[in-house]
Structure 1
Amino acid sequence: MTETSAPGHGLHERFLRGLARSPGQTAIRVGSESLTYEELHERALQRAGELTAQAPRGPHAVAVLADKGLTAYVGILAALYAGAAVVPLNPRFPAERTRRMLTTAGVGTVVADPVGRAALAETELDLPVLGESASASAAALDAPAAVGPSDIAYILFTSGSTGRPKGVPLTHGGNRHYFDLLDRRYDFGPGDVFSQNVGINFDCAMFELFCAWGAGAAVDVLPAAAHRELAAFIAERRMTVWFSVPSHISFIRGIGGLRPGTMPTLRWSFFAGEALLCDDVADWQAAAPKSRIENLYGPTELTVTITGHRWSPEASRSRAVNGVVPIGPVHPGHDHLLIDGEGESAVEGELCVTGPQMTAGYLVPEDNEGRFLERHGRRWYRTGDRVRRLDDGELLYLGRLDAQVQIQGHRVELAEIDHAVRQCAGVHNAVTVTRQVAGGGLELVVYYTGDRVPPVTLRRELSAHLPEGMMPKAFRHVTEFPLNANRKVDRQRLAREAAGTPEGPP
């Protein structure tokens, strides 16, 4: 097992622990470029000095608007060293979405690579930018700034039903509890090589980075091309820890990359962000026979993940519902309720959680409505997920209670898609449903009224508002929506129709 955490509350202290254990070893590698722990530490101190010079009155929010390169990883660590809240953003999101996130988070400085600079220019916001090269005018910090447990470590954005992304602030104290728990659960060490697979704006990237850095291990960023030759890439880099969304399994299998025994170096494999199917895990296990596999679950509001289930071929399958791997018990130090209607259930209902990993609330207070519950003198986060609780505390995932869905690991509220489509020229109203695809994932299908608009036109207009991962895969024009007995739009009927309707020509 790894050592206990260093004194203090800052998320950056995990890197300092890795620095003490592995000073000359690789901390981050992106293609042919890499930095050792010592090199990354020195660059982060220099950049933190520049950030501090930009905000002499104290810490502020720092956006990292960059592709997955050294600029991004130095920027994340530097912002933490400066005592600022990190706001990791995808520079390839639509400009209006990026502008809203920068404004909502109150970003004072942006760390950007060339792609990020171009993206920032499109927002028309006038914010100071630090690029890839260090400034000689600002002195490096001697040491990282001190932070408290209630200080914000980073801010992430989730899909919002109002048509705007919802900002979720996560504290150093919540992250301290989370990573201390992971240290006790896993045996990561300096010899490990972690994948860095998800986008830096996705909360699971924090798992990849700070589990590795807390252990003095290496982080290896996967280029897009590596996914088509995954086994060869893993073998070449001697990768030992893998993390991805479950739908990645189906993709790798589809291109012939899950042959038995092809990933022998993996010791741990983690999946999160979507329902994980037992059949997919079995195929992954055959390809990575020495790997222990875990299904992790948790909304962003509960700091990365809040439950975990370790795969056992017989035990996991016997407990699975609809072929979905159990999600495990809620993390120690937390309490949970199952809400069924207005009352509580001992067996099945919406999962509500409270404890040190829970966010205090969204950046925009009105976004809190309906997402938090006051009961028993405490505040609980409503996950919107329906689960079944077994006698030993294990939770089984039954599905979404509301209209939030997981698309390629990213949480999407269907109301946001409806809102975006209704802004398209000629569209009167829109209803978004999901349909399953091979491998157990979901894709979006939009039904709309108004003028019949070519799908290519709708996609072009939506691209200004929605990231690629939230783009509907099909558009169906109807003269009117079907209604159920309550005179409401019959979404279930539309979903059944979408499941049986082939995609039309673009």
Structure 2
Amino acid sequence: MKFGPTREKGVDEPNLADLPHREVRIGRPSIVVRQNGDSWYIRTRESLGAYPERFTDRLVTGAKAHPERWLVARRDGSGAWNSISYAQMLDRARAIGQALIDRKLSVDRPVAILSGNDLEHLQLALGAMWAGVPYAPISPAYSLVSSDYGKLRHTLELLKPGLIFAADGDAFAAAIDAVVPEDVEIVCATGSCKRPSSSFAQLISTPPASVDKAQRAVGPDTIAKFLFTSGSTKLPKAVPTTHRMLCSNQQMLLETFPAFADEPPILVDWLPWNHTFGGSHNVGIALYNGGTLYIDDGRPVPGKFEETLRNLHEIAPTIFFNVPRGWEELAAGLETDALLRETFFSRVKVYFFAGAGLSQAAWDRLERVTARYCGERIRIMAGLGMTETSPSCLFTTGWIMRAGYVGVPAPGCDVKLVPVDGKLEARFRGPHVMAGYWGMESSQREQSFDEEGYYRSGDALKFVDPNRPELGLMFDGRIAEDFKLSSGTFVSVGPMRARIVSEGAPYVQDAVITGMNRDEVGALVFARFDEIRKLAGLPPDRSSHEVVEAPAVREFFTTLLARLNEQATGSANTIARMRLLEVPPSLDRGEITDKGSINQSAVLKHRAAIVDALYDRSQSDAQVILARALRTDAQ
């Protein structure tokens, strides 16, 4: 695919309205909206098309139709791509499946995978699904970052796995020794644990015998894997994800993106497989549509995004997925790197973000760099999904494209909006929705669903235009995070946090809103220290306290607070005080998940003393910025 001529700096920016969008087939379903009492019901007129009974059926069809095509590839130690074709993957899945059957693994003794995205992980996952043995990808951070292994212990006690895999036995030895019972078999690809272990090579060399019979017994309601929620509100919960859930959601994706049928999707992706976005959504897109997934060992964090850029110099994706920070980093790279632009823009048709909201400032920058150097506009798309819905429910398939918009239901997904605490809670029903959390009492499980069988998401949505509800929905925060001031006024936390992150780009990582049962709203801000250190002009050896106290940093956040309050209409959306936090959020204390989501309640609990000091008028804290003082100074 050719794209427009490169425009160098100094040339007038193209008018976005004058540029065509790159051609791509996007489904545009017809939406039915009805109101019953205070609740709204939204669905597509079109029903969902047929989909396979088993997720591995797509591996079989792929191995027959294009046996030599790469399904997955990852760089080896030399930098070359080590690949596995569809035919090779089918053979290896059958061998591994037989090995798991020989070990009498089952739903009561599943496979747990402690390590991250790698070729062995995907082979073991597909082998387990082939044999009808559930597997559970566990966040590597629970083993490698956590110091008390609390979440790892919780997940393994809930699952009671019969086999545990870690790609690098040396790296995971301490966690395994601390948490895993002695009678559980350990399998490693490299290295060794402190206890006897098996090798991955033993699994993959097992001759198939009864495994195909076991595969034929796998049905739509067989559990393919357990995925754990991110733990952004409480301890992670196990979501039994069935073959029906995975297959129906991939069919929803295909009908949303018919372009997947026009050209096999090529993905360059780092998103972790222990989360539903990377492991179900993105891996599924490649397998379900005969595509290829290039595993990216980069990350959108300092010192690691260079690996992503290295891969994108070489591999041109057809659709690119990332979290907002990744898009910010990529936009910066595209502005300065002509070779990166040449490869990246050659065939990408859709930008897609998830995991958090893309700020309007980052959105506009991405649009500008694309227009300047590509000569066409590329659709920036998003949606709404969650682990419990495997994951996708809504997509931005209409012509509305802006930050905060989450779109309309995918075919097959029924949406219900119910008034809760002054907002509309989104609830979902469909073949892609779980039946309930694993290991929970039936009474607890029932609390997750309403009387009509809709899953209660806890997410709040609102119509982008109340007079035209068929246009779709905007994200309106998490209901559980909202609170009341002492005056009884409700504070909507989600939109306020999003505004702080957006207006504070690129210096704000996230924010926690304070003020429950107090007179005024406040904000604790987690800054991006790599960015504010540049702003401060300080060398790397200076402390975080010195960075926070630097005049340039204080001036920026003082101005930010004033800017945030310019559009405030009352106490519920006026931020009266703000403080930068010097200590980053803690994974062990549950303040942050390994995918970067902030747990507001955990931060408020563990930093209660800081919150109290924020509101203590008897003390003068130089780190606290007061909006009232700003208004007084300006008068």
| In 2, Cα distance between equivalents of 1:92 and 1:122 | 15
Using the TM superposition, give the Cα deviation of residue 257 of structure 1 relative to its aligned residue in structure 2, in angstroms: 5.4
Determine if contact 2:108/2:159 at 8 Å carries over to the other structure: no
SS of equivalent to 1:174: helix
User: Which deviates more from structure 2 when the two are superposed, residues 203-212 or residues 267-276?
Assistant: 267-276
Q: Which runs of 5+ in 2 are unaligned?
A: 1-24, 27-47, 190-199, 483-496, 515-542, 546-581, 617-622, 628-635
Determine if contact 1:188/1:212 at 8 Å carries over to the other structure: no
Change (3 A) 1:352 1:258: farther
| In 1, Cα distance between equivalents of 2:381 and 2:329 | 19
Using the TM superposition, give the Cα deviation of residue 433 of structure 1 relative to its aligned residue in structure 2, in angstroms: 13
* 1:188 matched to 2:260: yes
Q: 1:381 aligns with which of 455, 464, 468?
A: 455
Determine if contact 1:246/1:271 at 8 Å carries over to the other structure: yes
Residues 239-288 of structure 1: CA distance to partner in whole angstroms, max 9, x if unpaired? 22211112322233456657795521312322112123344334334436
Which residue pairs with 1:450 in the alignment?
Answer: none
User: Which deviates more from structure 2 when the two are superposed, residues 363-372 or residues 173-182?
Assistant: 363-372
Residues 30-69 of structure 1: CA distance to partner in whole angstroms, max 9, x if unpaired? 1132211222222222111111111167774211222322
Using the TM superposition, give the Cα deviation of residue 329 of structure 1 relative to its aligned residue in structure 2, in angstroms: 0.9
Which residue pairs with 1:305 in the alignment?
Answer: 392
Q: 1:332 aligns with which of 411, 414, 423?
A: 411
Determine if contact 1:46/1:134 at 8 Å carries over to the other structure: no
| In 1, Cα distance between equivalents of 2:188 and 2:121 | 10
* 1:134 matched to 2:223: no
SS of equivalent to 2:154: helix
Change (3 A) 1:177 1:400: same
* 1:283 matched to 2:365: yes
Determine if contact 2:268/2:311 at 8 Å carries over to the other structure: no
Letter aligned with residue 478 of structure 1: A
Determine if contact 1:196/1:209 at 8 Å carries over to the other structure: no
Which residue pairs with 1:418 in the alignment?
Answer: none
| In 1, Cα distance between equivalents of 2:307 and 2:610 | 46
Q: 1:150 aligns with which of 214, 221, 234?
A: 221
Q: 1:362 aligns with which of 437, 453, 457?
A: 437
Choose 1 or 2 for highest CA Rg: 2
| In 1, Cα distance between equivalents of 2:471 and 2:508 | 27
| In 1, Cα distance between equivalents of 2:614 and 2:360 | 36
SS of equivalent to 1:150: coil
Change (3 A) 1:105 1:222: same
* 1:293 matched to 2:349: no
Q: Percent of aligned pairs with the same residue?
A: 21
Which residue pairs with 2:85 in the alignment?
Answer: 36
Which residue pairs with 1:427 in the alignment?
Answer: none
* Higher normalized strand content (fraction of residues): 1
Determine if contact 1:97/1:165 at 8 Å carries over to the other structure: yes
| In 1, Cα distance between equivalents of 2:130 and 2:609 | 54
Change (3 A) 1:119 1:71: farther
Letter aligned with residue 208 of structure 2: A
| In 2, Cα distance between equivalents of 1:326 and 1:461 | 28
* 1:12 matched to 2:56: yes
| In 2, Cα distance between equivalents of 1:49 and 1:272 | 37
* 1:221 matched to 2:300: no
Determine if contact 2:380/2:401 at 8 Å carries over to the other structure: no
* 1:200 matched to 2:273: yes
Change (3 A) 1:441 1:480: closer
Which residue pairs with 1:234 in the alignment?
Answer: 312
Residues 196-245 of structure 1: CA distance to partner in whole angstroms, max 9, x if unpaired? 22111010122111111122211101122672364553241122221111
Q: 1:269 aligns with which of 331, 337, 351?
A: 351
Q: How does 1:457-468 map to 2 (within 5 A)?
A: 462=586, 464=588, 466=590
Q: How does 1:66-105 map to 2 (within 5 A)?
A: 66-93=115-142, 94=146, 95-105=149-159
Which residue pairs with 1:119 in the alignment?
Answer: 175
| In 2, Cα distance between equivalents of 1:401 and 1:258 | 41
TM-score norm. by structure 2 comes to 0.60
Letter aligned with residue 225 of structure 2: Y
SS of equivalent to 2:202: coil
Change (3 A) 1:79 1:397: same
* Number of corresponding residues: 441
| In 2, Cα distance between equivalents of 1:24 and 1:220 | 16
Letter aligned with residue 139 of structure 1: P
CA root-mean-square deviation: 4.1
Determine if contact 2:406/2:475 at 8 Å carries over to the other structure: yes
SS of equivalent to 1:175: helix
| In 2, Cα distance between equivalents of 1:238 and 1:56 | 40
User: Which deviates more from structure 2 when the two are superposed, residues 463-472 or residues 184-193?
Assistant: 463-472
Using the TM superposition, give the Cα deviation of residue 443 of structure 1 relative to its aligned residue in structure 2, in angstroms: 2.5
Letter aligned with residue 91 of structure 1: P
SS of equivalent to 1:134: helix
Change (3 A) 1:150 1:233: same
Letter aligned with residue 609 of structure 2: V
SS of equivalent to 1:336: strand
SS of equivalent to 2:470: coil
| In 2, Cα distance between equivalents of 1:341 and 1:71 | 45
Letter aligned with residue 164 of structure 1: L
* Higher normalized helix content (fraction of residues): 2
Which residue pairs with 1:49 in the alignment?
Answer: 98
Using the TM superposition, give the Cα deviation of residue 87 of structure 1 relative to its aligned residue in structure 2, in angstroms: 0.5
Q: Which runs of 5+ in 1 are unaligned?
A: 318-323, 405-431, 448-453, 490-495, 501-506
SS of equivalent to 2:406: coil
Using the TM superposition, give the Cα deviation of residue 311 of structure 1 relative to its aligned residue in structure 2, in angstroms: 7.2
| In 1, Cα distance between equivalents of 2:83 and 2:362 | 33
* 1:24 matched to 2:68: yes
Residues 151-171 of structure 1: CA distance to partner in whole angstroms, max 9, x if unpaired? 212211124488521111122
Determine if contact 2:55/2:243 at 8 Å carries over to the other structure: yes
Which residue pairs with 1:391 in the alignment?
Answer: 469
Which residue pairs with 2:324 in the alignment?
Answer: 246
Q: 1:478 aligns with which of 609, 625, 628?
A: 609
User: Which deviates more from structure 2 when the two are superposed, residues 383-392 or residues 467-476?
Assistant: 467-476
Using the TM superposition, give the Cα deviation of residue 326 of structure 1 relative to its aligned residue in structure 2, in angstroms: 1.3
| In 1, Cα distance between equivalents of 2:105 and 2:227 | 25
Determine if contact 2:136/2:227 at 8 Å carries over to the other structure: yes
TM-score norm. by structure 1 comes to 0.74
Change (3 A) 1:259 1:43: same
SS of equivalent to 1:274: coil
Letter aligned with residue 242 of structure 2: T
| In 2, Cα distance between equivalents of 1:483 and 1:370 | 40
Letter aligned with residue 40 of structure 1: M
Residues 351-376 of structure 1: CA distance to partner in whole angstroms, max 9, x if unpaired? 1112222111112325947952423x
Change (3 A) 1:193 1:340: same
Which residue pairs with 1:415 in the alignment?
Answer: none
SS of equivalent to 1:72: helix
Change (3 A) 1:438 1:479: closer
Change (3 A) 1:185 1:164: closer
Q: 1:62 aligns with which of 102, 111, 116?
A: 111
Change (3 A) 1:299 1:460: closer
